Chain A
């Protein structure tokens, strides 16, 4: 039985160390968000009140926001707030920041998940087909499509999709969330998923081609397996290892891209919340939104890292610099 325990403890060790390694990053993220939102030239209170504000009002506001206290004390307060899930209240609506984000989150979450699902399924399929039909028209076609997908700005492609499907073909009613039906999610998810899909397609193809040349594929064939069993059973899992990494990095692009796509499709998600906050100079919301998105990204990447051993049993902890 010792072999069993041996393996398990290596795995637990890996998980534990990964969790531990993420803590300094999270502390750093909190600090950077604080610095980012504190280096605003000029006085946030004055910016909020505008030109008309009289000194007394501004002074009152400064006190309310705790802006007249030393910066380090503000940081400690902020840090404590993050730990206790209290990010303050919106300067404008007085709504707790956490609540404001929570209200908008389902839309963004649905969008991101739909896009990622789309990107992974279409990317892997396209990449596999391209690799298996190497140097065919199908291969060239899908790789050119992938190259365009990587190079074209997603918001522009999104606009073109709207023109095509909403205006010309009238297959999809329009932008916004409408009645909440899934049909309103199709174009935003296509737009947001395009780039990750293209990246995944390219990586799947190159990964697959590399794996197909490996000795163990020859072994699998020598056992008399069908070509399908060789590819699905023996090659795919190996080829997926680099793709998992892209799911992690792709998440960053999605969170960034969500800001753009939510504007384009008038979706009231977390990204839109940030844009509105910037326009309204609602610093508490901006701070909370940036922090939230960064933390989501950190957590996603942690999950991706933790899922590695599922795909690659050789994994041992040792990568301090991510994705090396």
Chain B
């Protein structure tokens, strides 16, 4: 067991909307070891992006907030950390790459300015030094002719290049943790593989631990060492990547795996999971997956299963495993 760099305990992040309180993350626990890649998998709306933004302290205060729980990073609780301290961590020790590289880069500022800014803010470099570092960083992420890219704008780059710039920005200060929220979903399939490979390479090189958020189990299989399956704001299964793919225990995980093309033998029918993710806050007491579960019994409606260890670090939240 390596050193735990980030651990989340009982995290609850609620949004306050006109139609009521939405518990987007509702009691999430996770642990991240130094240098490992943890994949968080789930359908859209399961709270995985909200969890990421909670860790970053980027939940817009006008919309919602972290209600309960702890986010421990190198011994400090990020939830209660003063703004100024949190700002020093953000972008330097924990950083984030977002799904849409097109809209995530500022359209009216040059690439160079946007990357160099990180060096200026966190390492106190002057403009010239920062640009020098930026060029190094851009070539590290495999951007051709980085000196010229400095003066370009995001609309002049391809989708893959933009995401490389985002990664350069995120890894500029060699953070301990990188949160990548669907980093490849908006990209072409061929580019997806390149970006994943880049992330893997840089992880090895910089020793950064990665939280890889995705709805695509293929991405997880390729890049992650541990997997956490999220459903309706909570973790339902956690294991190393082999455990998830070879011995899935939770009915929801099984359903997810059954719906990937290529996972089953040729000629077998693809299963499609019935129903869709419940609206956060809809459930009342029982298992969150109960309405869609084919193994559901009476107990599933009345009592909510806790995560428990099946041995070997494989955790699952289901009454029947």
Give CA–CA (A246, B155) in the complex, Å. 26
Q: Tell me, yes or no, whether A229 is within 8 Å of chain B by CB.
A: yes
Give CA–CA (A134, B152) in the complex, Å. 34
The 7 closest A-B pairs by CB, nearest first: A224-B91, A223-B91, A224-B90, A215-B103, A216-B106, A313-B153, A215-B104
Q: How far is the CB of A207 from chain B (nearest CB, A)?
A: 12
Give CA–CA (A314, B122) in the complex, Å. 30
* Residues of chain B within 8 A of A219, CB atoms compared: 98, 104-106, 166, 169
- Binary contact readout B143-156 vs A (1 if CB under 8 angstroms, 0 otherwise): 00100100111011
The one of B88, B108, B148, B166 in contact with A238, judged by C-beta atoms closer than 8 angstroms, is B108
* Residues of chain B within 8 A of A311, CB atoms compared: 108
Give CA–CA (A229, B118) in the complex, Å. 12
- Binary contact readout B54-92 vs A (1 if CB under 8 angstroms, 0 otherwise): 001010001000000000000000000000000111111
Q: Are A224 and B105 in contact, CB atoms less than 8 angstroms apart? A: no
Q: Are B104 and A221 in contact, CB atoms less than 8 angstroms apart? A: no
Q: Are A216 and B105 in contact, CB atoms less than 8 angstroms apart? A: yes
Q: Tell me, yes or no, whether A312 is within 8 Å of chain B by CB.
A: yes
Q: Tell me, yes or no, whether B109 is within 8 Å of chain A by CB.
A: yes
Q: Are B107 and A216 in contact, CB atoms less than 8 angstroms apart? A: yes
* Residues of chain A within 8 A of B117, CB atoms compared: 223, 225, 233
Knowing A215-B104, A238-B107, say if A224 contacts B89 (CB, 8 Å): yes
Knowing A218-B58, A237-B109, say if A223 contacts B90 (CB, 8 Å): yes
Q: Name the CB-closest residue of B to A213.
A: B60
Give CA–CA (A221, B147) in the complex, Å. 26
Can you name 9 extra interface pairs (CB under 8 A) apart from A233-B109, A313-B107? A134-B62, A222-B91, A223-B90, A224-B88, A225-B117, A226-B87, A234-B109, A238-B108, A241-B108
Q: Are A314 and B90 in contact, CB atoms less than 8 angstroms apart? A: no
Q: Tell me, yes or no, whether B95 is within 8 Å of chain A by CB.
A: yes
Q: Are B152 and A3 in contact, CB atoms less than 8 angstroms apart? A: yes
Knowing A215-B98, A313-B153, say if A220 contacts B58 (CB, 8 Å): no
Q: Tell me, yes or no, whether B29 is within 8 Å of chain A by CB.
A: no
- Binary contact readout A281-324 vs B (1 if CB under 8 angstroms, 0 otherwise): 00000000000000000000000000000011110000000000
Q: Tell me, yes or no, whether A4 is within 8 Å of chain B by CB.
A: yes
Q: Are A225 and B148 in contact, CB atoms less than 8 angstroms apart? A: no
Q: Count of chain A residues with Cβ under 8 Å from any Cβ of B?
A: 27
Give CA–CA (A134, B60) in the complex, Å. 13
Q: Name the CB-closest residue of A to B118.
A: A223
* Residues of chain B within 8 A of A216, CB atoms compared: 103-107
Q: Name the CB-closest residue of B to A312.
A: B108
* Residues of chain A within 8 A of B118, CB atoms compared: 223-224
Give CA–CA (A218, B98) in the complex, Å. 9
- Binary contact readout A219-249 vs B (1 if CB under 8 angstroms, 0 otherwise): 1111111100100011001100100000000
Give CA–CA (A225, B122) in the complex, Å. 9
Q: Tell me, yes or no, whether B260 is within 8 Å of chain A by CB.
A: no
Give CA–CA (A312, B107) in the complex, Å. 8
Q: Tell me, yes or no, whether B100 is within 8 Å of chain A by CB.
A: yes
Q: Tell me, yes or no, whether A214 is within 8 Å of chain B by CB.
A: yes
Q: Are A224 and B108 in contact, CB atoms less than 8 angstroms apart? A: no
| Residue with the greatest number of chain A CB neighbours at <10 A, chosen from B104, B121, B145, B166 | B104
Q: Are A313 and B108 in contact, CB atoms less than 8 angstroms apart? A: yes
Knowing A234-B109, A313-B153, A314-B155, say if A215 contacts B100 (CB, 8 Å): yes
Q: Tell me, yes or no, whether B96 is within 8 Å of chain A by CB.
A: yes
Q: Name the CB-closest residue of B to A6.
A: B156
Q: Are A223 and B155 in contact, CB atoms less than 8 angstroms apart? A: no
| Residue with the greatest number of chain B CB neighbours at <10 A, chosen from A1, A223, A229, A313 | A223
The one of A220, A223, A229 in contact with B95, judged by C-beta atoms closer than 8 angstroms, is A223
Knowing A221-B90, A224-B92, A314-B153, say if A229 contacts B121 (CB, 8 Å): yes
Give CA–CA (A215, B162) in the complex, Å. 14
* Residues of chain B within 8 A of A4, CB atoms compared: 148, 151
* Residues of chain B within 8 A of A314, CB atoms compared: 107-108, 153, 155
- Binary contact readout A95-129 vs B (1 if CB under 8 angstroms, 0 otherwise): 00000000000000000000000000000000000
Q: Are B103 and A214 in contact, CB atoms less than 8 angstroms apart? A: yes
What are 11 residue pairs bridging A and B, where the CB atoms are less than 8 Å apart in the complex? A215-B104, A220-B106, A222-B91, A222-B95, A222-B96, A223-B95, A224-B90, A234-B106, A313-B153, A313-B155, A314-B107
* Residues of chain B within 8 A of A313, CB atoms compared: 107-108, 153, 155
* Residues of chain A within 8 A of B106, CB atoms compared: 216, 219-220, 234, 238
* Residues of chain A within 8 A of B96, CB atoms compared: 222
Q: Are A237 and B122 in contact, CB atoms less than 8 angstroms apart? A: no
Q: Are A3 and B58 in contact, CB atoms less than 8 angstroms apart? A: no
Q: Name the CB-closest residue of A to B96.
A: A222
Q: Name the CB-closest residue of B to A235.
A: B106
